[in-house]
């Protein structure tokens, strides 16, 4: 026997004997360790804790074979570098929102929030059962990333303003933190949209660097203390009717996992996607009442005239994105088709019921 073959055979023998002698739990003794970078301040209610839940679920469901550690914005990379960090493998996974990557891949915005687009329930319908998720995966494939829906805020609030919005003219010259497609709509309405990660919003609003901001809804906005920096709290969040949060996973890291762990990672995302919406549904009104009663926040609806103008501009903005490249066109076509169909059903189900309940 040649020496090389001998070494190989002997080695295999040792391996086989070793494997047989060790109890099955030995696999857990050497866990796979993953890092999750996020766009949220560490442990931020709802969004950051959603990321924490995702990591905990993966670790628990895998019996500790895959352990995920969460890093808040700036701990490894700044909020807006999460996409690149996961793409290059600095971290195996990330948690954020797809519209933060619009400078890199504009059509990603369809998978976070479209102004006057889909509610959380409809968004999940499109993503899981209407072809949306397949398109999202196709969009991120060139970056070596696999996306998964991993949280939803439900309908957001319109935002915090230091002056009343009584007409379309009040949007002119308004410098507002508003990301994604909503920001572009504001620009066309005469405002100046600014993109800022969550952690920088309060100081920007307080210092007057911005005139207004949107963030999420009462539960999150109270946590940032935005009521201390602006007086008027407008609704509804026309620009984010059911924002999907995303988990991005490095494709090579995911492919290297055994099949059961891959399934655990993707299904844990699915659990968190649902659970976050439940948490917001449970906590938003509590926080809203606190904002009104304790902090004397003035809650106002946007005037119908303003919403109508924003809706018209939104349709143009979304259509313009779709005209930019074939992939965006394909996503837009799917989105529009789904929305047209689901709207008919929502009208005679959710809307009809809600009207009946409050009537
Ligand atoms: Ca928002």
Whether 187 is in a domain gets the answer no
Whether 63 is in a domain gets the answer yes
pLDDT per residue over 126-160, tens digit each?
999 999 999 999 999 999 999 999 999 999 999 99
Whether 178 is in a domain gets the answer no
> Which whole number is the average pLDDT over 266-288?
97
239 C-alpha vs ligand 1 centroid, how far in Å?
A: 8
Whether 312 is in a domain gets the answer no
116 C-alpha vs ligand 1 centroid, how far in Å?
A: 14
207 C-alpha vs ligand 1 centroid, how far in Å?
A: 20
What CATH number does residue 113 fall under? 3.40.190.170
347 C-alpha vs ligand 1 centroid, how far in Å?
A: 25
13 C-alpha vs ligand 1 centroid, how far in Å?
A: 59
65 C-alpha vs ligand 1 centroid, how far in Å?
A: 35
Whether 57 is in a domain gets the answer yes
Given a cut of 60, whether residue 8 has pLDDT beyond it is no
Full domain range(s) for residue 93? 32-153+242-281
pLDDT for position 243: 96
Radius of gyration of the chain (CA): 23
H, E, C per residue of the chain: CCHHHHHHHHHHHHHHHHHHHCCCCHHHHCCEEEEEEECCCCCCCCHHHHHHHHHHHHHHHCCCCEEEEEECCCCCCCHHHHHHHHHCCCCCEEEECHHHHCCCCHHHHHHCCCCCCCCHHHHHHHHHHCCHHHHHHHHHHHHCEEEEEEEECCCCCCEEECCCCCCHHHHCCCEEECCHHHHHHHHHCCCEEECCCHHHHHHHHHHCCCCEECCCCHHHHHHCCHHHCCCEEEECCCCCCCCEEEEEEEHHHHHCCCHHHHHHHHHHHHHHHHHHHHHHHHHHHHHHHHHHHCCCCEEEECCHHHHHHHHHHHHHHHHHHHCCCHHHHHHHHHHHHHHHHHHHHHHHHHHHHHHHHHC
> Could you give the strand order of the β-sheet that contains 298-301, starting from the edge strand earlier in sequence?
192-194, 175-177, 212-213, 159-161, 232-235, 298-301
pLDDT for position 24: 54
For residue 287, what are the contacts with CB-CB under 8 A and spacing of at least 6? Answer: 217, 218, 219, 221, 222
151 C-alpha vs ligand 1 centroid, how far in Å?
A: 13
pLDDT for position 12: 44
* φ, ψ (nearest 5 deg) of residue 301: -85, 145
172 C-alpha vs ligand 1 centroid, how far in Å?
A: 20
346 C-alpha vs ligand 1 centroid, how far in Å?
A: 23
d(CA 263, CA 58): 10
264 C-alpha vs ligand 1 centroid, how far in Å?
A: 29
256 C-alpha vs ligand 1 centroid, how far in Å?
A: 35
Whether 249 is in a domain gets the answer yes
133 C-alpha vs ligand 1 centroid, how far in Å?
A: 21
100 C-alpha vs ligand 1 centroid, how far in Å?
A: 11
The count of domains in the chain is 1
pLDDT per residue over 28-70, tens digit each?
468 999 999 999 999 999 999 999 999 999 999 999 999 999 9
5 C-alpha vs ligand 1 centroid, how far in Å?
A: 62
pLDDT for position 359: 82
Whether 51 is in a domain gets the answer yes
216 C-alpha vs ligand 1 centroid, how far in Å?
A: 4
pLDDT per residue over 228-268, tens digit each?
999 999 999 999 999 999 999 999 999 999 999 999 999 99
Q: What is the mean pLDDT of the chain?
A: 92
Whether 336 is in a domain gets the answer no
71 C-alpha vs ligand 1 centroid, how far in Å?
A: 21
pLDDT band at 180 (very low <50, low <70, confident <90, very high): confident
């Amino acid at each position: 026997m040649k020496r090389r073959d001998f070494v190989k055979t002997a080695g295999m023998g040792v391996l086989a004997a070793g494997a047989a002698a060790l109890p099955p739990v030995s696999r857990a003794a050497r866990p796979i360790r993953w890092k999750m970078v996020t766009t949220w301040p560490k442990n931020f209610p709802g969004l950051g804790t959603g990321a924490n839940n995702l990591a905990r679920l993966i670790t628990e469901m895998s019996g500790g074979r895959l352990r995920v550690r969460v890093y808040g914005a700036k701990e490894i990379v700044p909020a807006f570098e999460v996409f690149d960090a996961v793409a290059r493998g600095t971290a195996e996974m990330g948690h954020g929102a797809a519209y933060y990557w619009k400078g890199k891949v504009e059509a990603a915005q369809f998978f976070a929030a479209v102004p006057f687009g889909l509610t959380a329930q409809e968004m999940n319908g499109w993503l899981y059962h209407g072809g949306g998720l397949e398109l999202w995966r196709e969009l991120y494939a060139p970056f070596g990333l696999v996306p998964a829906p991993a949280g939803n805020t439900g309908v957001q609030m319109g935002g915090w303003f230091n002056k009343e919005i009584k007409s379309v003219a009040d949007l002119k010259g308004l410098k507002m933190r508003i990301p994604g497609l909503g920001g572009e709509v504001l620009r066309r309405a005469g405002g100046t949209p600014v993109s800022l990660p969550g952690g920088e919003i309060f100081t920007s609003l307080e210092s007057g660097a911005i005139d207004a901001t949107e963030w999420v809804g009462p539960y999150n906005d109270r946590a940032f203390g935005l009521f201390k920096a602006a007086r008027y709290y407008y609704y509804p969040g026309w620009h984010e009717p059911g924002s999907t949060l995303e988990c991005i996973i490095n494709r090579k890291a995911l492919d290297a996992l055994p099949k059961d762990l891959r399934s655990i990672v993707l299904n844990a995302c699915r659990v968190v996607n649902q659970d976050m919406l439940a948490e917001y549904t449970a906590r938003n009104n509590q926080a809203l009442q606190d904002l009104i009663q304790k902090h004397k926040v003035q809650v106002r609806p946007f005037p119908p005239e303003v919403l109508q103008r924003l809706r018209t501009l939104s349709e143009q903005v979304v259509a313009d994105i779709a005209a930019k490249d074939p992939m965006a066109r394909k996503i837009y076509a799917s989105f529009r088709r789904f929305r047209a169909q689901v709207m008919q059903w929502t009208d005679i189900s959710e809307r009809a019921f809600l009207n009946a309940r409050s009537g």
